[in-house]
Chain A
Amino acid sequence: MTTDTTAVACTGLSYRFGDTKAVDGLDLTVAEGEVFGLLGPNGAGKTTAIRCITTLLPVPAGMVRVFGHDTGRERMAVRRLLGYVPQQLSADSGLTGRENVELFARVFDVPRRERAARVAEALAAVGLADAADRLAGTYSGGMVRRLELAQALVSAPRLLILDEPTIGLDPIARTGVWDQIDSVRAATGMTVLVTTHYMDEADQHCDRVGLMHRGRIRALGTPDELRRGLAERQGTEALPTLEDVFRDVAGSGLDDRSGGFRDVRSTRRTANRVG
């Protein structure tokens, strides 16, 4: 199952915070080159799964592999392959756009002679060439997201991981961010792993999706397959939406664990900063 062209392979991944099992036996394979969407409500375990894959949370050896490298044993090798954009707006507002990208060029060991050119290319790729020397604090929410994308791209990652990239953005900015992701992927062919709770976005932009609920994948396939599957089970003519599919696999009791206080607070904080 796991070959060199498998970007991410999780086998029986579990992670608990105290008594809460945030991720509970997750099995997941992301193929090289695809855009994979990890979907689910707040508190489904998406962010915890992402943090295990990015080496932020310690996992035992054998549970997660990124392009064949074990995240438990070969952290540095895994990190060199990753571009990561966390849920919060994480650009440094006290630095210019260019300086923000430059920092990531430095910590990924871009040699000095090609640093300026590489940083300029990353900024141009997300359409921030003209705003590059303004402080990031003056950027709009959508611009900050694009800047973070440039920060992730400057090291030429093989796997781009985006945690709720469109959270709190207005519909136009959301489309803008997705257009950017699509064009970056077309230009570089990199694998993209994205989490979102906007089912319509996943339907439109993801090659395959995994519906996550209570720490596990409950349904997996292309958006089309999942919708057709539900239509067959229900014997309906009209094609249901991904949201219908999700309601079907998650069953009742969607509300009782949808996001702790801290989740909701951090989500709101991000939404506030995006404006």
Chain B
Amino acid sequence: MSEAPAAPPTESAEGTGTSLLLTPPRPRSGWRLLPARVVAMCAVELQKLRHDRTELYTRAIQPALWLLIFGQTFTRIRAIPTGGIPYIDYLAPGIIAQSAMFIAIFYGIQIIWERDAGVLNKLLVTPTPRSALITGKAFAAGVKSLIQAVVVIVIAAILGVSLTWNPLKLLGVGLAVVLASAFFSCLSMSIAGIVLSRDRLMGIGQAITMPLFFGSNALYPVAIMPGWLQVVSRINPLSYQVDALRGLLLGTPAHLGLDFGVLAVAAALGITAASALLGRLAR
């Protein structure tokens, strides 16, 4: 307290002084800034979920229906070649990936809402580089998707899907979910930076989520797709996520190295693009 206040604190009636509020905190520098911002954004996401769990419950309904109705029916029909495992088992990793993607795609709408509410502007006036803000949001989407993934895994286990309980493999599942969610949230935030309005983004969000889902190996193997759809599936990061999840959870043959490589590169590209476009939302 070397610097004395110009006048004594007037709020002493509250029981606390304002001594700490006279000294600015020491800036964190260099590499320590980014993880600190990521932690801050993830903490906000978890705090919000703690106050209002409605979203957690309502978002569990859709994947449950997919597994329960679609999964069980197609298990009986045996129309889709799954390499010898029950169809519902084959489907479960696809539904984990799908429900995580749906959460992440919502982040573009959320960032426009935050822009309209002034929350985004206020964060942009803090010592937080735009790339750190976007990385923070991307990992917050990952944390939320991770919770969703746990819910879907539990539902799948209840429905009798035989999943791995190997902690190392589950760790890999978590990593795949976080990386893919980071990509899809950044895709959505990039589009938000281009279209700038919530109405337009909602339309585009609806228009891309289903093609991303159907144009992947989440529901059926790539081999039975028509040629043009195989191309779509090959450039769709969701396919690589599903491939990794299937390999880790069910032990089916997978290309884990390629899968994680593609997901990491996609997340990095997404963060770069969304950070570059964030400035348009600040105007």
Could you tell me which A residues sit within 8 Å of B by CB distance? 17, 33, 51, 54-58, 76, 79-82, 84-90, 92, 94-96, 99, 102-111, 114, 117-118, 120-122, 124-125, 127, 129, 135, 151, 153-158, 183, 186-189
Whether A186 contacts B21 by the Cβ 8 Å rule is no
A85 CB, nearest partner CB in chain B, Å: 8
Residues of A within 8 A of B116 (CB): 88
Using a CB-CB cutoff of 8 Å, which residues 160-198 of chain B contact chain A?
Answer: none
By the criterion CB–CB under 8 Å, are B128 and A107 in contact? Answer: yes
B40 closest partner in A (C-beta):
A106
Of B12-20, B70-78, B231-239, B251-259, the segment with at least 4 beta carbons within 8 Å of chain A is B12-20
Does B37 make an interface contact (CB < 8 A)? yes
Shortest beta-carbon distance, B244 to chain A, in Å?
32
Knowing A84-B122, A95-B47, A109-B127, say if A188 contacts B18 (CB, 8 Å). yes
A127 cross-chain contacts in B, Cβ below 8 A: 11, 14
Flag if B7 contacts A186 (CB, 8 Å).
yes
- By beta carbon, the residue of chain A nearest B43 is A106
A81 CA to B123 CA in the complex, in Å? 14
Q: Is the CB of B40 within 8 A of A156?
A: no
Could you give 18 example pairs across A and B, Cβ below 8 Å? Answer: A51-B121, A79-B126, A80-B24, A80-B127, A84-B125, A85-B122, A89-B118, A90-B122, A92-B44, A104-B126, A107-B40, A109-B36, A121-B16, A121-B17, A125-B18, A153-B21, A183-B10, A188-B5
Q: Known contacts A84-B122, A89-B117, A127-B11; decide if A76 and B43 are in contact (CB<8 Å).
A: no
Cβ A125 vs Cβ B125 within 8 A: no
A82 partner residues in chain B, CB cutoff 8 A: 125
Please, how many angstroms separate the alpha-carbon atoms of A99 and B28 in the complex? 21
B58 sits at the interface (CB 8 A): no
- 8 new A-B contacts, CB < 8 A, other than A57-B283, A81-B24, are A80-B127, A102-B43, A106-B36, A114-B20, A151-B122, A155-B25, A156-B20, A187-B5
B25 near A156: Cβ-Cβ < 8 Å:
yes
8 closest cross-chain pairs (CB), A and B: A90-B118, A88-B118, A189-B6, A106-B40, A86-B118, A124-B14, A109-B28, A124-B16
Contact of B11 among A87, A157, A183 (CB under 8 A): A183
Question: What is the total number of residues of chain B having a CB less than 8 Å from a CB of chain A?
Answer: 49
CB-contacts of B39-82 with A (<8 A) = 39-40, 43-44, 47-48, 51-52
Chain B residues, Cβ within 8 Å of A51: 121
Interface of A is mostly: mixed
* B23 contacts A by Cβ under 8 Å: yes
Given contacts A76-B129, A82-B125, A86-B122, contact A95 B20 (CB under 8 A): no
Contact A56–B6 (Cβ < 8 Å): no
| Cβ of B226 under 8 Å from chain A | no
Nearest-neighbour CB distance to chain A for B252, whole angstroms, equals 40
A33 to B, closest residue via Cβ: B6
Q: A156 — which chain B residues lie within 8 A by C-beta?
A: 20-25
Say how far B209's CB is from chain A's closest CB, in angstroms. Answer: 24
Asked if B47 and A107 make an inter-chain contact with CB atoms under 8 angstroms apart, the answer reads no
Given contacts A87-B118, A88-B117, contact A187 B7 (CB under 8 A): yes
Q: Is B261 an interface residue (CB 8 A)?
A: no
Residue B282 lies at the interface, judged by CB distance under 8 Å to chain A? yes
Q: A155 to B37: give the CA distance in the assembly, Å.
A: 15
A90 x B24 contact (CB < 8 A): no
Closest to A76 in B: B127
Q: Shortest beta-carbon distance, B96 to chain A, in Å?
A: 26
Q: Counting chain B CB atoms within 10 Å of each CB, which of A81, A102, A154, A187 scores highest?
A: A187
Write out, one digit per residue, whether chain B residues 114-143 have a CB within 8 A of any chain A CB (1) or not (0).
001111011111111100000000000000
Identify the closest chain A residue to B33 (Cβ). Answer: A109
Inter-chain contacts of B126 with A (CB < 8 A): 79, 104, 107-108, 155
Does B37 lie within 8 Å of A187, measured CB to CB? no
Cross-chain contact B18 with A121 (CB below 8 angstroms): yes
B158 to chain A, nearest CB (A): 30
A57-B123 contact in complex given A125-B14, A129-B15, C-beta closer than 8 Å? no
Query: Could you tell me the distance in whole angstroms from the C-beta of B55 to the nearest C-beta in chain A?
Result: 10
Q: Which of B116, B122, B124, B279 has the most CB of A within 10 A?
A: B122
Question: Contacts A94-B48, A187-B7 given: A107-B123 contact, CB under 8 Å?
Answer: yes
Tell me, rounded to whole Å, the shortest Cβ–Cβ distance linking B218 to chain A: 31
Query: Nearest Cβ distance between residue A73 and chain B, in whole angstroms?
Result: 15
Whether, in the assembled complex, B203 has its beta carbon less than 8 Å from a beta carbon of chain A, the answer is: no
What residues of chain A lie closer than 8 Å to B40, measured between beta carbons?
103, 106-107
- B8's closest neighbor in chain A, by CB? A187
B99 to chain A, nearest CB (A): 21
- CB contact between B125 and one of A55, A99, A117 (< 8 Å): that residue: A55
Residue in chain A with minimal CB distance to B124: A56
CA–CA, A109 to B124, complex, Å? 15
Q: Note all chain A residues with C-beta closer than 8 A to B22.
A: 156, 188
